[in-house]
Structure formats: C-alpha cells, structure tokens
Amino acid sequence: MVTWQDKILLCRRNIHPRKGYWTIPAGYLELQETPLDGARREAMEEANADLDIERVLAVYSIPRISQIQILYRATLKDGRHHPGPESQETELFDWNDIPWTDLAFPSVKWVLNQHREVIDKTDFAPFSNPPGETGDYDRAKPVV
C-alpha cells in the first residue's frame, strides 16, 4: 500500500490473471527472501518505485489459492514511479479517483479501505480479511 502526498500508487496489470485491471504493487517472494525485501523488490519491478516501508498494514488469508498475503504501508522515497514489465501503467490516485470497478482482486479493495481507516494513525493492529470475506471473486465481474 504505497502512497505519496495523500495519493495512492496503483499499477495496471500487464500479466494474467486480471490483465488490464488495477492493483497495488505486490507479488511473490523469491527463495531466501524476507517479506520486506520482497515488498521492495516487487514495487521496483512493477512500478520502478523506491519505498520507505513503515509497518505491516494487513495480513490476509486467501484459501482458494493457498495464499497468505502480508501488506505493508509504505511511501515513495522520491515520488517517482513508472511501469515495469509487469505493469501497463502506474498512477497516483486521489481517493475519489480510484478505479473501483477495475480493481484486480478483492484484497486490493480491502487494503485500500483499511488503509483509509488508519491513514492518520501510527499505532494500530494489523488488519485481516473483512468478516466473511475469503478473497473469492467471479472472474467475469468487477471487484466492487
């Protein structure tokens, strides 16, 4: 969950699944990589974004695909970003301009909303899946 001056960094996916939909910079860990190092690397690969990572924002469980997702709150070090090979484009969005009907996955919507709940807080417990949410989605419908 990367921000810069009250704007949120999103990447339009250039890979499947959900190619063409918007997401946060994220991805899988490499062998022998720490979660923090993986978060920094993925942000660089997808958005050429150099991060200051603040803290864990959320930990999600997505049983359908056997994933545990660790989401960090971070800021761009210098405000610069541009698409890497896995992204068609990158953009900093004001809250009201987020393309809600074009988000790639339910967890993107969750982290955006949970980030907003604690935007001005420095001390909070990490979030988890919203009640009753498992991360399942209908691939033919938007994630709203």
- Please say if the pLDDT value at position 138 is more than 70: no
Has residue 10 been placed in a domain?
yes
Has residue 94 been placed in a domain?
yes
What does the mean pLDDT of the chain come to?
Answer: 95
How many folded domains does the chain comprise? 1
pLDDT, one tens digit per residue, over 104-127 is 999 999 999 999 999 999 999 999
CB 94 within 8 Å of CB 113: no
What DSSP string runs through 116-138? HHTTT-S--PPB-SPTT--S---
User: Is-above-0.75 flag for pTM?
Assistant: yes
Has residue 61 been placed in a domain?
yes
Task: Show Cβ contacts of residue 92 under 8 Å, excluding neighbours closer than 6 positions.
Answer: 4, 7, 8, 9, 81
Has residue 141 been placed in a domain?
no
Has residue 144 been placed in a domain?
no
pLDDT, one tens digit per residue, over 29-75 is 999 999 999 999 999 999 999 999 999 999 999 999 999 999 999 99
Sequence-ordered strand ranges (E) for 22-123:
22-23, 51-62, 67-76, 87-93
Q: Which structural domain, as residue segments, surrounds residue 76?
A: 2-117
Domain CATH for 8: 3.90.79.10
Has residue 38 been placed in a domain?
yes
Tokens linked to 27: 């991805």
Mean pLDDT score, 125-137: 92
